[in-house]
Chain A
Amino acid sequence: MGLQVATHERADGTRCMADAGLVRRSLRGDTAAYDVLVRRYQRQVYSLLYRMVGNVDDAEDLLQETFIRAYCALRTFRQDASFLTWLYKIASNLSIDLIRSRRAKAATSLDDEIEAGREPATHDRDSAPEASVIRGSVSEIVHDAIMALPDRYRRVVLLRHVAEMSIEEIAELLGMPTGTVKTHLFRARGLLRECLRPVLGMDGHGHGTEQPA
């Protein structure tokens, strides 16, 4: 077929096809090209989803849905943003929808439980098997600190610092004023900083042990 596509060099010296070329080939019906895109980005997208929704099963369902929706909208992908950023936006939308529907269901079942005179069940995140997925001390502490944040703070901090969306983009996605997004983000970072204080600077990138003047 002789299709010319741009490639770029990896750190290990091998060459890989650029996303734009793979997108073009996918649109022409090349399933192998879309396979490459899925393999290239499934870990990144899954990591965001897993940390947004808090469990493996939902994150894997949404991972598949994200790539299927991305394919269906592939013609609308404009290359002013990276393909990963675009995937992150689709994944974020899906996880927000899931969180909202969960909340609606939880409110209904809580009403049912109260109506039936039973003690409502609580979800213990720490006892979930996926809580041990992350290994390595600092990473584990950071992961746990993020997962311990209230939902409204966690999603904003992940959208800002993992999906790298702007505060304005997050406000649009969540249907909130930018001021509220900023408040949630700043409070989330404050809570994280308190939790992470013992490990700040432990992995050699931090600010060290500066003494007050």
Chain B
Amino acid sequence: MDMEQNSRLSEFPEQFSLCLRVRAQLQDYVEGYLDLVTAETVRAHLAVCALCNREHAEILETIRLVRTLPFVSPRRDYAGPITAAIAARPHSPWRRWWPRARRPSL
């Protein structure tokens, strides 16, 4: 909570106390860890408090940004080396398949 928000909320002590309680529960709320009654209290508060609603939205947005990070590609395609490494293992069931499938054409 930044200083501007603090000063606005401190003008209304009851609201401030409720906001503090809700904000302490927001992470559990996002994870679905709250019981139904508490979750409903948080939901109702978020519907009427723009500051807490903004904090909730920022948590969700942070999670979304992590979840939707683009994939990074390895420097090469590892399918061939991985299959070859598996086939080369002493007890690989592929030992009887791999040489035929992968034998280089002469």
Contacts and interface: CB of A to CB of B under 8 A. Distances in A.
B78 A200 contact: no
Contacts of B86: 31, 34, 68, 71-72
A161 B72 contact: no
Contact of B85 (A68, A139, A161): A68
A59 B74 contact: yes
A34 B83 contact: yes
B98 A31 contact: yes
Contacts of A196: 61-62, 65
B62 A200 contact: yes
A207 B54 contact: yes
Interface stretch (A13-21, A93-101, A105-113, A186-194): A186-194
Given A31-B97, A133-B72, A213-B50, A189 B63 contact: yes
Interface centre among B50, B61, B80 (most CB of A within 10 A): B61
A7 interface: no
Given A68-B86, A142-B66, A193-B62, A43 B50 contact: no
A182 B26 CA distance: 12
Q: Chain A CB within 10 Å — which of B54, B59, B65, B96 has the most?
A: B65
A46 B73 contact: yes
B77 A42 contact: yes
B57 A207 contact: yes
B65 A142 contact: yes
A143 interface: yes
B69 A38 contact: no
A38 B72 contact: no
A31 B62 contact: no
A68 B72 contact: no
A67 B78 contact: yes
Interface in A140-165: 142-143, 146, 157-158, 161-162
Contacts of B93: 27, 29
A189 B59 contact: yes
Contact of B74 (A46, A146, A193, A205): A46
Contacts of B78: 38, 42, 60, 63-64, 67
Interface string B15-43: 00000000000011001010000000000
Interface string B46-70: 0011110110011111111111011
A139 B69 CA distance: 6
Nearest to A205: B64
Per CB-CB distance, the 5 closest pairs between chain A and chain B, nearest first, are A207-B57, A38-B79, A43-B71, A186-B27, A29-B97
Interface of B: 5, 8, 27-28, 31, 33, 48-51, 53-54, 57-67, 69-75, 77-83, 85-87, 89, 93-94, 96-98, 101-102
9 contacts: A31-B86, A68-B82, A138-B65, A143-B69, A161-B66, A182-B27, A201-B61, A210-B50, A213-B51
